[in-house]
Structure 1
Amino acid sequence: MTAPKHFEVGPLQQRLCERRRELLAALHGEYGDLAGARPPEVLGPESHPDETASRKAHDVLRTALARHDSDELQQIDAALARIAAGRYGACVECGDSIGYERLVAAPYAVRCVSCQTAFEHRANRK
């Protein structure tokens, strides 16, 4: 399975690399305290219960966002590996071209629209 040659990979690779840098900065900066880089802010006993609940909800949201960014980073790394291997743009299911428009919308896509639709239907049945 080799990458389709009907489009230029360079601009998509550049977008992937730029997004990768953004995600790494966010994961090491904004979310760095989730990994223990910064100690969590401690609320005193005089803290209002609403403040404590709000802070906990905020922490849950930040953890979910960090997980989402980490997942996206893994998808980008996999796409960059497919570029290096000459397999970028080929559907992992059927081997057909994923399509330039789809790759512009989601540069780390691994399936063509037909195979992605079938994949989602199978996943929803479980």
Structure 2
Amino acid sequence: MSQPISDTYAQQLQQMRADLIAQIRAQRGGKIGRAESALDPHDIQSGDWSQVDGERDLAQALDERETAALRAIDEALQRIANGTFGLCTDCGAEIPTARLHAAPTAQRCIGCQTRYERDHPGATPSL
């Protein structure tokens, strides 16, 4: 992949990363961590422990999803840095540009991604 094209994807990925971090901070009310947000005194005082547990489970699931998204962005940036961005991590074929535009964190071509999802049913699908 040419340097100008790689630079374009790098900029897009950096923006995605910055937007995701800003979203995480806004949801948590600043730069507080998972432990601090889990100890919200309002939740404890409400008395409805099932609701509190449900909200915490949802928050944890969102946190795991956001962490996975950040990891995927960082891995894509690493592939740009080492010159393998745009190549399928399974078969080495070029990933179509349209796929990379839609999902710049894509690691696999469509065929390999389909096989991966079939072989790993619990895995999070990738575009």
2:57 is equivalent to residue 57 of structure 1: no
List structure 1 segments (4+ residues) > 3 angstroms apart after TM superposition. Answer: 26-29
Supply the RMSD in Å over aligned alpha carbons. 2.4
Deviation at 1:105, TM superposition (A): 1.3
Unaligned runs of 5+ in 2: 123-127
Identity among equivalent positions (%) equals 31
Q: 2:92 aligns with which of 78, 92, 95?
A: 95
Task: Please tell me the residue identity of whatever aligns with 2:111.
Answer: S
Q: Which residue of 2 aligns with 1:71?
A: 68
Task: Please tell me the residue identity of whatever aligns with 2:9.
Answer: L
Structure 1 CA distance for aligned equivalents of residues 22 and 35 of structure 2 = 14
Q: TM-score, normalised by structure 1?
A: 0.78
Structure 2 CA distance for aligned equivalents of residues 74 and 30 of structure 1 = 19
Q: TM-score, normalised by structure 2?
A: 0.77
Unaligned runs of 5+ in 1: none
* Larger Rg computed on CA atoms: 1
Query: 1:20-51 CA distances to partner (integer Å, 9 max, x unpaired)?
Result: 1122233445243423368422433xx453xx
CA contact (8 A) 1:33 1:40 kept: no
Larger proportion of helix: 2
Number of residue pairs the alignment of both structures matches: 117
Structure 1 CA distance for aligned equivalents of residues 21 and 72 of structure 2 = 13
